[in-house]
Structure 1
């Protein structure tokens, strides 16, 4: 059989301990028990959740019937001149399809944002050629529900029969299934309810939008099937076992971060998908592994990683990498899912729950109830940047963005990290991602970058539930676009602000320093922000 995945440990200072953990996992037949759906692997407390979350190990077989359904619907749509696919989904509902279609080189418009400008751009496409895929396990995800409402109204305004252009992916028996059938939407695909969102790449959530966009989802399942014997084997050569042992031992020695760089894998965006999988699965009970996705093997945080991080090359090994993982996309999905579930066992956590995700959602909802009272006056204004600080950590005499950034970095404890969270348009404002390497290089902290609110469905769990050593930089910006949400008493801009403020409030309540920079002019604000970061000593 052609090798579909390989894991190379380039260097490990704890090889003997890794070998012991591997031996324990092999002796306890953990890999084969996982494949068999053994919910006892993570202890009694996790068993109720695990018992309804392990169907992902068989998706290479159980998802096969979907392929013909997807191909048939795609053919129907193309015959009607509908060849533009827009996906409304958050977390696992959008991250996996984005990787699949990006790697396949087929177009997919992904809406995992509440930025009114980005949503307006998606609406500006040719709606007469557009199908909207609404992906949500329950339908209650506020972002996805807002997108559905907005597009339904836009279709109608364009003279397009909205029901014929909306395809739904949801769990059986969900409120969204009921509402979709009552509305007469084009098709409702039912996903396996015994698979959590971050393990759902090979369910209908990953396959339907990808297949409708033109990706070879049958080939993806083939690649996953080819690696099943390898990841199921109770063998020291099992790549998932080796990865789990390596990360667990590194964590025990203080390396609680995993830095990902693509070194020529040919896979587009795997690090972003793995970020959610690992952070949301392990970041709880004050422990866990924090993924840090960097721009490439020469980026700050990868080449200068300290002892608190393990560097992972997605693709061929480099001189800076500790671990290298190569293989096809379908195989990589399964290897990382198995490795994450297994490292949960070693770290003594439940890799299938997300106990801290709801807090930010609750805070955002409460702020939506009183939007005019939500935004406090800034601590100070520096040009086009209004500066807000949560948690009482910023002295009143600070009056520049540069000084505020220096103090935020200084507030990080030993082995801490800096999280940059941009509640902006991740397409038109993509250049804001440049602040990650700039800050990482100057702060000497492992630095993550997330687009809000999508990171709330990813690393958001870790920030609240994992190691409490992060400091947080939020970036928000004024928008020239206003977009109402039909049937709701708020527009997207208000929702976006509430999400940023709500998450910042929760982090501050947990004792974490939060600095929010609101840009009254996004272009000028970015220029000033970069200048402030580059000041000596920042």
Structure 2
């Protein structure tokens, strides 16, 4: 692993922070698992959340069990791996598989269209990995119930197709044993977003075809450096990010265009945002955006010279070093990097809406296939955008949050004989995520994008617990072909809407400016959103 600081202000902030950290003995104390590093209030939780430091060694104990699972799946010709999980329980495996160029279907969603897409991929050759630390994550549990019923309807015994990864003591563990599912128990002293090198990252990746021992080897090679005051990449990375944030540069633009580690910034985003965004402080990761040059921005590039800081290293080492660096940032910002106190507010609001569901009030504005809900004096969609962008404070950001099928753009028609550039243009023209780039052209402030509900387990903590400088544009869409959740009183449509409205309630109760756009026709609605964003 190599951390290269290419910008003078960032170097000065890093040197100052390293001096403080070394004077406090942080490198040795953190490597030894000292839970007192983050203050008295965080000590009890930190004492149960530092197992990730030893995962390069302890996860090797899982390798024989994982090898047996891989052999079983191969013997049963289970070539289609579906992962039901969210946040830290799915993002690491997605990065591992994308970087290794092996297929993995990730269901971290409650979108009916996206779930039906996965169900259509061929149940006869599908293995479902259900990953949840708590065993109580509502979207993961819903996907499990839907697949159980689908397997049964197809004449397939779910016990021959389902693998559960969870903590000892979670309700999923005894339920898996009763159902005859294959069960892999993870270490309970590793938090979800620090679990990349645990069973949560390794089991689905191995089933998909990745030689996961290599990840542990890469992490093990860098691990001895993490106790040192010098030549410690985790210390330097945490120091430059945390020290820059203390100096006012708390927006971290993550750039990876030239990296072979596909999707790593999205994993970093959930790690940093959920770990640091609390008590009115935090680091806002900005993914998929070009630097805008504003004063509170630090640009960090994975394997390229585009940014102020460059990070090089293999994926297994990246996982461990970023986790270490995040713990260091928590120390510098004086926040507990292992809790997520503000995530619960949206969960409570969602649960209340599921118990007592109600449809929203009439929209305040209708512009073609887009209904607008919330406080606005605009007369059309371009006006709504202008109002939201104007509401972003000088040190703030705009977050676009979409509760839609994140793969829907690939359904867009492509001209016959189109080359790759033309295909990409067609997909971008049908992708709700393109809205981020279009709105970013109209403001110097950062614009982020998150798919719901996955962001609830990622930047959702920062949005509610971090600095109160965010402005929020939420997007929901009509559901044409709903999916019931067996054994529950709700469907995916009602759950998805409850999650969107629950988070919107939590944001507005905190005084965060927020507007919801509802697409009465998804494809036409996305096209309309993008066209309106291009109007002056």
Coarse TM-score class (shorter-chain normalised): over 0.9
Residues 97 and 208 in structure 2, CA contact (< 8 A), matched pair in contact too: yes
* Counterpart for residue 493 of structure 2: 493
**Aligned equivalent of 1:143, options 134, 139, 161:** 139
After superposition, the Cα gap between the structure-2 partners of 1:16 and 1:118, relative to the gap in structure 1 and judged at 3 Å, is closer
* Counterpart for residue 70 of structure 1: 66
Query: Aligned to 1:336, what secondary structure does the other structure show?
Result: helix
Residues 472 and 515 in structure 2, CA contact (< 8 A), matched pair in contact too: yes
TM-superposed CA distance for 1:399, in Å, is: 2.0
**Aligned equivalent of 2:193, options 198, 215, 226:** 198
**Aligned equivalent of 1:366, options 352, 359, 362:** 352
Query: Aligned to 2:253, what secondary structure does the other structure show?
Result: strand
**Aligned equivalent of 1:56, options 52, 59, 67:** 52
* Counterpart for residue 297 of structure 2: 309
TM-superposed CA distance for 1:26, in Å, is: 1.9
**Aligned equivalent of 1:259, options 246, 250, 253:** 253
* Counterpart for residue 502 of structure 1: 502
* Counterpart for residue 214 of structure 1: 209
Gaps of 5+ in 2: 411-430
What does the per-residue CA deviation read over 1:387-406, in whole Å, with 9 as the maximum and x for residues that have no partner? 011xx4x23xx220111111
Residues 294 and 444 in structure 2, CA contact (< 8 A), matched pair in contact too: no
Structure 1 position 457 matched with structure 2 position 457: yes
What does the per-residue CA deviation read over 1:427-458, in whole Å, with 9 as the maximum and x for residues that have no partner? 11471111111111112220110000000000
* Counterpart for residue 26 of structure 1: 22
Residues 35 and 58 in structure 1, CA contact (< 8 A), matched pair in contact too: no
Q: Distance in 2 between matches of 1:215 and 1:306?
A: 40
What does the per-residue CA deviation read over 1:304-355, in whole Å, with 9 as the maximum and x for residues that have no partner? 231111001011212xx11110110001001111111001101111100000
Query: Aligned to 1:133, what secondary structure does the other structure show?
Result: strand
Write out aligned runs for 1:148-167 (5 A).
Answer: 148-167=144-163
Query: Aligned to 1:92, what secondary structure does the other structure show?
Result: helix
Write out aligned runs for 1:107-506 (5 A).
Answer: 107-185=103-181, 187-235=182-230, 237-294=231-288, 299-300=289-290, 302=291, 304-318=292-306, 321-371=307-357, 373-389=358-374, 392=375, 394-395=376-377, 398-429=378-409, 431-506=431-506
Aligned length: 516
Q: Distance in 2 between matches of 1:42 and 1:520?
A: 48
What does the per-residue CA deviation read over 1:255-293, in whole Å, with 9 as the maximum and x for residues that have no partner? 111000104220010000000000000000000001000
* Counterpart for residue 415 of structure 2: none
What does the per-residue CA deviation read over 1:240-261, in whole Å, with 9 as the maximum and x for residues that have no partner? 2112221222212221110001
Gaps of 5+ in 1: none
* Counterpart for residue 529 of structure 2: 529
Residues 464 and 507 in structure 2, CA contact (< 8 A), matched pair in contact too: yes
Residues 473 and 517 in structure 1, CA contact (< 8 A), matched pair in contact too: yes
TM-superposed CA distance for 1:10, in Å, is: 0.9
Task: Point out the more displaced range, 56-65 or 437-446.
Answer: 437-446
**CA RMSD, 1 decimal:** 1.2
Query: Aligned to 2:83, what secondary structure does the other structure show?
Result: strand
Query: TM-score w.r.t. structure 1 length?
Result: 0.94
Which ranges of 4 or more aligned residues in structure 1 deviate by more than 6 Å? none
Query: TM-score w.r.t. structure 2 length?
Result: 0.94
After superposition, the Cα gap between the structure-2 partners of 1:14 and 1:134, relative to the gap in structure 1 and judged at 3 Å, is closer
Query: Aligned to 1:486, what secondary structure does the other structure show?
Result: coil
Residues 13 and 244 in structure 2, CA contact (< 8 A), matched pair in contact too: no
* Counterpart for residue 419 of structure 2: none
Query: Aligned to 1:144, what secondary structure does the other structure show?
Result: helix
* Counterpart for residue 413 of structure 2: none
Q: Distance in 2 between matches of 1:524 and 1:18?
A: 48
